[in-house]
Structure 1
Amino acid sequence: ENGTDKKVSEFIKIVEDEAGITVLRNGNLGWVKGVNAGVGKSFSPYLLILNDDHVLSPATLNKMYLRLTEEANSISVVGVETAKLDPVHALGMVTDSQEWDFLAGSGLLIKRSVWDEIGGFDEEFKFGYGEDLDFCCRVKAVGGVLHHIPHTEEDCRFTDHKRLRETDDFDLMECINKNRRVIRGRWWRKGRLDHTVPDGVVRPHADGSMRVAPRHFLPSQDGVGKGMHTHGHKILVELEKQGVILDDNAPVALSYVPCASFARDRWNKREEWLFTMVEHDQMAKNQIEAIQEVDRLVTCSNHSVKVFRDHGHEGPIDYVPLGIDTDVFQYREPGWAGIMPFRFLWVGAPSMRKGWDLVLGAFYSMFGPLRKEVELYLKTTFEDSDYGEQVEQIDENVTLDTRNLSSTELCKLYQSAHIFVLPSRGEGFGQTALEAMACGCLVIAPKYTGLGEFINNDTALVVEGTTTEAYSGTFPIISDSPEIPDFMNKMAESYRRFHKYREVIENGSKLARTFTWERTASELISKMFSEELQHVAE
C-alpha cells in the first residue's frame, strides 16, 4: 500500500486488522518493485498478481487455479488479459498480431517455481509499461507456457483506474520510451519479438568470411514503414549476392530501422551498426538516445550526417546511398510526350510530410477547369484501413489508387505520367522521386533534406523551400516546407513548356540509374569489412 490516498489507507487498515492480511507499506515504489516486494514476503507455491482496479469472481479465480494445477500440463502462467495492441502497451513496436500471445500483468496466476527461476519482474522497468511483456518473454525463454482464460464482464470487472499523470519531476512518456528500449534491446530481432534467448557468446569466425547478424529490420507491412521494410530486404538480398553470410552469431550486427526503433542487443556483446536516416533538422530525445548506443552509424544522405553531428553523435558515420531496381525502373521509349491527358503523378505514404495536401490544393487552384486536358493521379497505401485496395475516381480528373502494386506495375504507373510531384516537408532519401526520375518523369521537388542527393537544377525542377512549425509524431519541430507559390509556378510552367525540359528529364534518368542496390551493398561491404578485404587483396 503506497499511502497515496488517505481514504484507501484507512480502509486497508480495517481489512488488515479484521482479516489478518499482511500489508506492506514501502511508499510508492512503482508497480514492478511493489509486486516484487510483496512476492518476497510470501511462501505460497502459487502467486496471484492482481491490479487494484480488477475484481475477479470466485468462479474465474477457481478456473485459473484449476487450469494452472492440472496434472500433465506445462502451463506456467494463467492470465485474464492478453497484451493489448495499443501504442502504449505495444511500446511502438511493429509485429504480427499472431505473435502477441502474451498476458497483461494486471491479472496473473503464476507458479512460484517459474517466478523464482526467472527472478520475478525486472526492476529496470520503472513506472511505464512493458514489464509484463518482458516477463512473458522470459517465461517462454525457459520453456514455460502462457495460458489465457476467456471471461465475461461478470467474471472480471474493471473499476476506476487512476492513470499515471505527468508531473514536474515525473515524465510518463520518458519512462515508456526507456522501457521500450529495454524490450527492443532484449527481444526484438528481425522485425518481431523473439523469445529465444541467445547463448550470449558471439563466436568469431577465423576463416576470413564476411558475416553479418541482421538484427532490427521492419517486417512486411502497408502504409507508413513499408519503404523501410522494402529497402532493408533489398540490402540483405544484395549483401548475400556479394558474398556476405547472414549469421546470427556474427561479431557484427546490422540494423535498418528508424533511429528511435533501435536498441543495443543486451544479450550479445558485439559491434552494432545502424543504417538509418532522418527527415528533419531536429531530432527527438529518444532518437538522440538511440544513436548514442550505436558503434557505427550508416546513413544515405549528407543531410542526415549533418543532423547526427549537430545532435552530438561523435562516433563514426558512413555515407552509403540507397538504390533502386534499375532493371525494373527504366526510361520510357521516345514518343511519350504526346500522350493525353497530361498527367501529374504523386506517390507516397498517406502522411502530411509527403505533401499530398499541397498537391491537391495546387492542382485544384490551377487546373480545376481543364477537366479533360490535365489529370492528377494519387498513389498511396493505407495501413490497417477499411478503405481497401481500389482505384477510385474522386473527381473527373483526380484519381486515388490504394492498390499494392508490384515494382513492374509501379514502373508502368511512373511511365504513364508526364510530371512527378513531391512537395515534401522532409525526406530521409526520397525513393519514389528517384524511381520516377529513372522512368523518365520530369520531377518537381525541393532539394532540402535527403532529396538533395539527386535533386538539383540539372535533373529536376527545384521548388524553393522555407521553414514552418510542424510535428514529428507528437514532437514539435521547425520543419522544411516548400514555398506554395513557387510550387504552383513550377507545376504551371512544366505543363505549358513541357517539351523544353527533355534534357533535364534525360539528365535525371541518367543520374538515377547510378543509384543501384548493388552499389549500396558494395559500399556497405567496403565500410564493414575493409580490413578483411585488404587482407584478401594482399
Structure 2
Amino acid sequence: MVQPATCNLQPSTFSDPQRPPVTIIILTWNGLEYTRRCIESIRAHTKGMAYHLLVVDNGSSDGTLEWLRAQDDIRVIANDRNLGFTRGNNQGMAATPPDHDVLLLNNDTLIIQDYWLAHLSNVAHSHPEYGIVGCTLLHANGLLQHAGTYMPADSFWGYQIGGGETYIGQYPGVREVEGITGACMYIRRDVRARIGGFDETYTSYFEDTDYCLRARQAGFKVVCTGGTQVIHYENTSARINNASWQAMWDEGREMFTRKWRTFYNQKYRRAVVWHSLVASPSGYATSSRELVIELDRCAIDVRLACIWGNDFTEPLTGDPRIDQLRARLKDSRLPQVVYHQGDSFIKNSGRYRIGYTMLETDRLPDEWVYQANQMDEVWTPTHWGAEVFCASGVRRPISVVPLGINPDYFHPGITGHKPGNRFVFLSIFEWIERKAPELLIRAYQQTFRRSDDVVLLLKIFNHDPSLDVARRIGDLIRSDGPPIVVLPNQHVAAYQVGCLYRSADCFVLPTRGEGWGMPALEAMACGLPVISTAWGGQTEFLHSGVAYPLRIRGLVPAEARAPYYRGLRWADPDFDHLCALMRHVYEHPDEARAVGMRAAAEAAARWTWSHAAAKIIERLEAIE
C-alpha cells in the first residue's frame, strides 16, 4: 500500500474552532471490511478538529449494519434496500444540521494523513468562493487516481486528471478545477443551502460532476488540494455486490449529456485554429500540448490542425483534453496560428494569419523572413527573439508571447531519487552541435578529479542514425577522470521529468543558443541552481538573481549539420568561466540551493503556461 513521502500534515493546519462543525457522511452497501478499515483510519488520523460520523446503509446483508450499530461514535441511517449513491448521500445531507459543513467519503477509502480533515476545512474557508474541495486520490499501488476531473465535450466521457501516473508529488497546492469526484468531497454549508443535494435523476455516476457544475453556476469555485492524499479502492460496492457499474455509468452519462450538452457547447468565448504538432517529443509538440490545454481551460475553442498531412497523420496523445480538439471544424474564417518552424508559415490559411516561432541564432534564414512577412502578425517567445526578427527584416507586427512550465509537474516538492550522496550535475539535451556537449564534458573533467564527490549525469537524445554518440562520448571521457553517467535515448514520461531534475543538485548546459531554453526553465522551476549561457532566448528568464549565467567570448559561425544555420552565428561559451561556475556551485551548495529556490519562486510567479495563455488571449482579443 502506498505511503506518501509526507505522510502527516503539519499541526499548523489545525482548523479554526470558529469554523462550522463537519459531518462525515459515508454510504455503505455491504463491504464490511472496507467500511471497518475506512472508519478506523478516520479515527486514527482525524486530528485538529471535531467531527461527526454519519453512515447511511443501503440494505447491507453482510453484518455491516450490525457492526455500525455497535459503534458509539457513529450515527446510522438504515435503509431496507439499496437506494443508490445519489439518494443515499442526499439522505445523509438532509439529516445533517444546516450549520454543518459536509464531507462525503466513500467507504472504500483509507485515510493516511493526520490533520487531513482540518486541512480540507482550512482550504474550504480560505476563500469566500471555495464551495467544494477535493483532494488527491491514490490507488493502493501508488498510482494517482484523481487530481480533479475534466469533461470532454465531444464524448462526455469523464476524465480523471493525472489518472494512472505514478504519484511523485505532482499537483501541489490548491487548484481550481472543473469538478471533483464524490469519493472525497468537502461541501461547505452555504453550498448546500444554495443548491441543496445531488440531482436524484442520477442513480450513481456523474452526479458529482453535475453537482460541481451546479455549484459553479451558483457562484462558487470547485478546487482540488494537493495537500491531502486519500487512498481510494474504486468501484468496490459494485464489485462486491455483483452490480454492473458499467450499466450505471452508461445511464449516468446519458442523463448528464442530455442535461449539460448545451452548456458545454456555449462555454467558449472565442475560437482559433491552432496549426502545429502535439504528439511527438519535439519542443514544439510538447509546448503545443500545454498551450492548447491551457487555452481550452480559459474557454478558447481551439481547432487543432496537424502541421503535416491531416488529422490522422499524428497518433493520438491519449489525453482527451487534446485529442478532442482534432475533430473540430477547421474554419478558415477564424484567426489561425501556425506554431512551428518559420518555413512552415506558408501553411497558414486563416482569415487572420499568425506565425509563431523561434530560432537560436543571431539572424533568421531568408526564407523564414519572407514567410513571416506574409503573416498578419508574428509571435516569438522572447524579447531577444523579437530583436532578432526585426534585425533580420521582419516587417510585420511582432508580439512577445512567452512559453512556460507546468507548475503541477515542475516544482521543488517533486520526489527525487539521488544516486547516493554525490553532488550531481545534470544536463539534458539532444547531441547536436548547438548544445556543445564536448565543451561540457571537457569542462567537467578539467574542473574535477576522480576523488571529488561528484558525478555528471547526461540524459541525451540522438535522432541521427549516422552519428555514433557512444563512440563520441568514449573518445571524450578519460579513464582516470570523475564519473560520468549517460542515459542515451531513454524515454522518461513527460510527467516524470521533474523527478529527474529533483534527483540532481545543479543543472548545467553550455548551449550555443536557444530559442527559449525549456530544460533550463524546468530545472529552475524544480528548485535547481542552473548554469547556462547568458545569450539567446533563455535570457528572458535566466539572470544572476536566480541562476548562474555563463559568459560568452563572442559570436562564432553556426557550424552544424542543420541547414537552417548556414551563414548565421551563435554564442561561443566561455570555457574557463564554465569550469569556475561548476566548481563554485560544488563548493557552495547552500548558496546554490538558495539560488535554486529563488528560481523556483520566480518561475511559478512569472513563467507558467497560464501566463503564456493569457498573452495569447490578449492578442486574440486585440484582433477582434
TM range (shorter): 0.5 to 0.7
Q: Is the aligned partner of 1:355 residue 2:441?
A: no
**What do the CA deviations read for 1:372-395 (whole angstroms, capped 9, x no partner)?**
x111001122326499999x9987
**What do the CA deviations read for 1:34-73 (whole angstroms, capped 9, x no partner)?**
xxxxxxxxxxxxxxxxxxxxxxxxxxxxxxxxxxxxxxxx
* Cα distance in structure 2, aligned partners of 1:490 and 1:408: 30
Aligned to 1:211: 271
Q: 1:458 to 1:251 in 2, by over 3 A?
A: same
* Structure 1 alignment gaps of length 5 or more: 1-205, 533-538
CA-based RMSD of the aligned residues comes to: 3.1
Aligned to 1:515: 607
Q: Once structures 1 and 2 are overlaid, which stretch shifts more, 252-261 or 467-476? A: 467-476
Q: CA deviation at 1:370?
A: 2.9
Q: CA deviation at 1:469?
A: 2.2
* Structure 2 alignment gaps of length 5 or more: 1-265, 304-328
Aligned to 2:334: 251
Other structure's SS at 2:389 match: helix
**Which of 558, 562, 570 pairs up with 1:470?**
558
Letter in 1 for 2:298: Q
Aligned-residue sequence identity (percent) comes to: 26
Cα pair 1:264 1:294 within 8 Å, conserved: no
**What do the CA deviations read for 1:175-230 (whole angstroms, capped 9, x no partner)?**
xxxxxxxxxxxxxxxxxxxxxxxxxxxxxxx9994111122x135335xxx11111
Alignment of 1:189-200 (within 5 A): none
Other structure's SS at 1:348 match: strand
Letter in 1 for 2:374: E
* Cα distance in structure 1, aligned partners of 2:496 and 2:415: 20
Letter in 2 for 1:499: D
Aligned to 2:486: 400
Q: 1:235 to 1:248 in 2, by over 3 A?
A: same
Q: CA deviation at 1:334?
A: 12
**What do the CA deviations read for 1:354-382 (whole angstroms, capped 9, x no partner)?**
222211111112224236x1110011223
Cα pair 1:381 1:404 within 8 Å, conserved: no
Alignment of 1:92-103 (within 5 A): none
Alignment of 1:238-387 (within 5 A): 238-245=294-301, 246=303, 247-249=329-331, 250-265=333-348, 268=349, 270-332=351-413, 340-370=421-451, 373-383=453-463, 385=465
* Cα distance in structure 2, aligned partners of 1:522 and 1:445: 28
Q: 1:389 to 1:426 in 2, by over 3 A?
A: closer
Letter in 1 for 2:523: A
Cα pair 1:260 1:286 within 8 Å, conserved: yes
Other structure's SS at 1:456 match: coil
* Cα distance in structure 1, aligned partners of 2:450 and 2:623: 63
Cα pair 2:414 2:498 within 8 Å, conserved: no
**What do the CA deviations read for 1:100-120 (whole angstroms, capped 9, x no partner)?**
xxxxxxxxxxxxxxxxxxxxx
Cα pair 1:389 1:403 within 8 Å, conserved: no
**Which of 274, 279, 285 pairs up with 1:220?**
279
**Which of 510, 522, 528 pairs up with 1:441?**
528
**What do the CA deviations read for 1:135-175 (whole angstroms, capped 9, x no partner)?**
xxxxxxxxxxxxxxxxxxxxxxxxxxxxxxxxxxxxxxxxx
* Cα distance in structure 2, aligned partners of 1:295 and 1:280: 24
Other structure's SS at 1:476 match: coil
Q: Is the aligned partner of 1:499 residue 2:587?
A: no
Q: 1:337 to 1:489 in 2, by over 3 A?
A: farther
Letter in 1 for 2:578: F
Q: 1:360 to 1:389 in 2, by over 3 A?
A: closer
Letter in 1 for 2:555: T
Cα pair 1:330 1:411 within 8 Å, conserved: yes
Q: CA deviation at 1:434?
A: 0.5
Alignment of 1:18-29 (within 5 A): none
**What do the CA deviations read for 1:498-537 (whole angstroms, capped 9, x no partner)?**
22233322211111113111211121011112365xxxxx
